[in-house]
Chains A and B, each alone.
Chain A
Amino acid sequence: MLDLWVGLFVCAGIGALLVLALKVGNMSGFSVADTYQLYANFDNIGGLKPRAPVKSAGVVVGRVAEITFNNDRFTARVALRIEKNYKFPKDTTASILTSGLLGEQYIGLEGGGDDKMLAQDETIKLTQSAVVLEKLISQFLYSKAAEGDSKK
């Protein structure tokens, strides 16, 4: 009788851990699927973090695997892990976008018209950096100032 209860207790405990891992955490689905790796160089990644989603047409097709700094070209090198069953043409554009006004940043992929597809470890050539608010504001101010000058 004692054994039965203790056995039930241990099973329930391990079951609870499994529920936490599969239902609450993200062990299910994505990390199990087969993936291939692509790279993209960005001038500025803004607030992009590892494990951020990679979306194409709004559908999550992969995740950011790793972000490193390329010291030769002074750019950020982002490794993307894309699910095997999604293929993208060579002239795909990768841009860093923000979901919502204050939401997290993600990478958006926009397919081009090339016949050849990107393969494992290839680099996406066309990239668009994250929008940095300070740069945007200063650009706006400069253009306003220039307008004022030309009016004189």
Chain B
Amino acid sequence: MPERAVISVRRIGHVTIEGVLRLGYAARFITLTLLHSGTSFRRLRLVIRELYFTGVLSLIIILVSGLFVGMVLGLQGFQTLQTYGSESALGVLVALSLVRELGPVVSALLFASRAGSAMTAEIGLMKATEQLSAMEMMAVDPIARVVAPRFWAGVISMPLLAAMFSAMGVFGGYLVGVVLIGVDEGSFWSQMQNAVDFREDILNGVIKSFVFGVAVTWIALFEGYDAPPTAEGVSGATTRTVVTSSLAVLGLDFILTSFMFRGA
């Protein structure tokens, strides 16, 4: 009996040490990435190429889901607001929930599964097929050449995607609320403009999506770089990227929200 207790305690210790070690590797990894970012700004071509793969190719999924999220918000919001006789506040509801929360969060979740997983798989496979080692042999730093451009592409495209998501969502809410249901167009826009503050709401939303962009690309790149160089290893790393970055986005969102909107 005591031996079994010792074994389980030892297992807890092992898991903790592993976790701390990986966290340390991840921190070292991001520091190295930031230190070696010079190349990606001197050779913007590399970043532009990655912007195409992470940003432009994510456009369709972001725009379509933004539109539908906005339309659903319009429908559901109308149902609820109608019971209080304040349908004219539909614009406020749609815009605030999109700009503050849904825009940054949902687009970050979509970005993690659309672009993040692709990044992990790509880098993991590069590692498994020893392309990264080959680069090192040629005195090319893989972090500067492969990792940093992807990092910056992700960080740049995330706020842009979130803004497009929110704009599309507001348009979707407008379509359902004003065109379909027939909420008064004037009060829809004017109440929205009265309630949404540029600094408080829109800028905070942009800051959020920037933070999410850093978190998601960091996790995706680290998982890829750290993946065991086997087929199983890469597939496991891809799964971990989606799970970890989704959880990180939701957790960070709570922390950021509690600092930004304290209900003042």
Q: How far apart sit A24 and B167, CA to CA, in the bound complex (Å)?
A: 9
- Asked if B132 is an interface residue, CB under 8 A from chain A, the answer is no
Q: How far apart sit A24 and B198, CA to CA, in the bound complex (Å)?
A: 9
Q: How far apart sit A21 and B203, CA to CA, in the bound complex (Å)?
A: 9
State the majority secondary structure of interface residues on B.
helix
A19 to B: closest C-beta gap in Å:
5
A85 to B: closest C-beta gap in Å:
20
Q: Per-residue CB proximity of B86-100 to A under 8 Å, as 1/0?
A: 000000000100010
Q: Which of B95, B164, B189, B206 has the most CB of A within 10 A?
A: B164
Which chain A residue shows the least CB distance to B47? A6
Q: How far apart sit A9 and B192, CA to CA, in the bound complex (Å)?
A: 27
- Asked if B248 is an interface residue, CB under 8 A from chain A, the answer is no
Q: Is the pair A25, B201 in contact by a Cβ cutoff of 8 Å?
A: yes
Q: Which of A5, A6, A28 has the most CB of B within 10 A?
A: A6
Q: How far apart sit A16 and B157, CA to CA, in the bound complex (Å)?
A: 13
Inter-chain contacts of A21 with B (CB < 8 A)? 198, 202
Q: Is the pair B52, A27 in contact by a Cβ cutoff of 8 Å?
A: no
Inter-chain contacts of A151 with B (CB < 8 A)? none
- Asked if B230 is an interface residue, CB under 8 A from chain A, the answer is no
Q: Is the pair A19, B198 in contact by a Cβ cutoff of 8 Å?
A: no
Given A9-B157, A26-B196 in contact, is the A20-B202 Cβ separation under 8 Å?
A: yes
- Asked if B49 is an interface residue, CB under 8 A from chain A, the answer is yes
Which chain B residue shows the least CB distance to A17? B163
A61 to B: closest C-beta gap in Å:
15
- Asked if B252 is an interface residue, CB under 8 A from chain A, the answer is no
Segment 97-144 of B: residues with Cβ below 8 Å from A: 99
Q: How far apart sit A95 and B52, CA to CA, in the bound complex (Å)?
A: 57
Q: Is the pair A9, B167 in contact by a Cβ cutoff of 8 Å?
A: no
B56, B95, B196, B201: which contacts A5 (Cβ < 8 A)?
B56
The contact size tier of chain B is 20 to 34
- Asked if A51 is an interface residue, CB under 8 A from chain B, the answer is yes
- Asked if B82 is an interface residue, CB under 8 A from chain A, the answer is no
B49, B95, B164, B197: which contacts A13 (Cβ < 8 A)?
B164
- Asked if B160 is an interface residue, CB under 8 A from chain A, the answer is yes
- Asked if B237 is an interface residue, CB under 8 A from chain A, the answer is no
Q: How far apart sit A16 and B59, CA to CA, in the bound complex (Å)?
A: 13
- Asked if A2 is an interface residue, CB under 8 A from chain B, the answer is yes
- Asked if B177 is an interface residue, CB under 8 A from chain A, the answer is no
Q: Is the pair B157, A24 in contact by a Cβ cutoff of 8 Å?
A: no
Given A13-B161, A25-B196 in contact, is the A20-B52 Cβ separation under 8 Å?
A: no
- Asked if A117 is an interface residue, CB under 8 A from chain B, the answer is no
Given A6-B52, A26-B197 in contact, is the A12-B164 Cβ separation under 8 Å?
A: yes
Q: Is the pair B198, A16 in contact by a Cβ cutoff of 8 Å?
A: no
Q: Is the pair A9, B160 in contact by a Cβ cutoff of 8 Å?
A: yes
- Asked if B170 is an interface residue, CB under 8 A from chain A, the answer is yes
A102 to B: closest C-beta gap in Å:
9
Which chain A residue shows the least CB distance to B206? A17
In the complex, the 9 A-B pairs of residues with the closest C-beta atoms, listed nearest first: A13-B160, A16-B167, A16-B163, A16-B164, A25-B198, A17-B163, A25-B196, A9-B56, A6-B51
For this complex, 21 residue pairs linking A to B, each with C-beta atoms less than 8 Å apart, are A5-B52, A9-B52, A10-B51, A12-B59, A13-B55, A16-B160, A16-B166, A17-B202, A20-B166, A20-B202, A23-B170, A23-B193, A24-B95, A24-B99, A24-B166, A25-B193, A25-B197, A25-B201, A26-B198, A28-B193, A53-B194
